[in-house]
Amino acid sequence: MQYQVIQSQKELNEFVVKISDVQVVALDTEFMRRRTLYPEVALIQVFAAEQLALIDPLLELDFEPLWDVFKNPQILKVLHSPSEDIEVFQKFAGFVPSPMFDTQFALQVLGEGNCVGFANMVKTILGVEIDKSESRTNWLQRPLTQSQLDYAASDVFYLMPCFEHIFKLINERELVDIVISESELIASKRAFIVPDEQVYLDVKNAWQLKPRDLAVLKELAAWRRAKAHRKNLALSFILKEHNMVEVAKRRPTSLNGLRNVPGIEAMEVNRSGKEILACIEKGKAIVEGQCPKKLLRLIDYPDYKKAAKQLTLQIKQIAQDNDIPADVLASKKQINQLISWSWKKTADERASLLKPDLLQPWRYELVKEVLAEWDV
């Protein structure tokens, strides 16, 4: 396995010229995510036209020539389980490479099971054992070790022949568009920002809270996310989710009272105590009739089990008719997402949110007749 480590503009430009006319590019990234909200990009791996390069994004380089390749609609970009890579590109490059082919999802479409790891894919298809000992290494250190470089290069070196094998099977079944469409959906979901007023709805155990508690939680959830973005800190380093719920329940009025909330950490109070108290006061000041309504879980709806069962059976039949695994067409989570959208969201809330997966291409084209009865 031969590769070059690109560390100059001249090397990058020469590499881009070599791969500009290819039809397929294998991509991967290495990044760190320790305490930060956003991934810290540390390496970009590219393999095309028998040219394999490891590109150092920490250097002051003009990446536009490379970005032109990644944006080229005539070049298929291949990644394995690209959800986090998509986030890396969104943050570092300001766009997501497209069109994109996810080999992990393609294997799911072929009925090989969910979440097939890269190493297992390589072993199954190529019969090669990959050393994963460097997967948790410090990718931001410089210089990178030879072992790190070899590991990073192998990720795209073996990805390409795996893709060629998988693409042949997917193409024979005329399912290439589905795989590409799924990557586009993942990218749109990664880029979407839930409106501030709805962030609290995704907080675990929010359903346990009373309307006044929810008014406080609504303020806390929006503030926590805004601060996390501003400071580039993971949400849990601002205020842990279960502590946020407990604070909303108890609504302390002083820093000492906040310190006495079960589970609250000194770090949380020291860094953000005054801001947390301000959120509490805002929530307490909301007029009673304008507090959020108590949240219902799907299982609290009398007809939920019946509806979920009916929808599941209908989707299984559609999946069978189209020779697609039922859990690929719609997982239990995706079915619940649709039911929640239909039963729990107001028209205004729907207008400000992404549609459920089952209402997005490619799935909607297959299930729209069944979903007509849901009036969505």
Catalytically annotated residues: 28, 30, 85, 151, 155
Q: How many Cα atoms occupy the beta-carbon half-sphere of 323 within 13 Å? A: 6
Reduce the DSSP state of residue 258 to 3 states and report it.
Answer: helix
Q: Are 179 and 105 in contact (CB under 8 A)?
A: yes
Of 121, 151, 160, 29, residue with least CA distance to 84: 29
What does the DSSP 8-state code read for residue 102? Answer: E
C-alpha dihedral sign at 175, 176, 179, 183 = negative
Q: Are 53 and 6 in contact (CB under 8 A)?
A: yes
Q: Are 32 and 139 in contact (CB under 8 A)?
A: yes
Of 367, 365, 352, 355, residue with least CA distance to 317: 367
Q: At what angle do helices 363-371 and 304-321 cross, to 10 degrees?
A: 130
- Distance from C-alpha of 365 to C-alpha of 362, rounded to nearest angstrom: 6
- For residue 314, with 0-12 CB atoms within 10 Å meaning exposed, 13-18 middle and 19 or more buried, which class applies? middle
- For residue 141, with 0-12 CB atoms within 10 Å meaning exposed, 13-18 middle and 19 or more buried, which class applies? exposed
- Distance from C-alpha of 128 to C-alpha of 92, rounded to nearest angstrom: 32
Of 75, 97, 94, residue with least CA distance to 28: 97
Question: How large is the greatest C-alpha to C-alpha distance in the chain, in angstroms?
Answer: 68
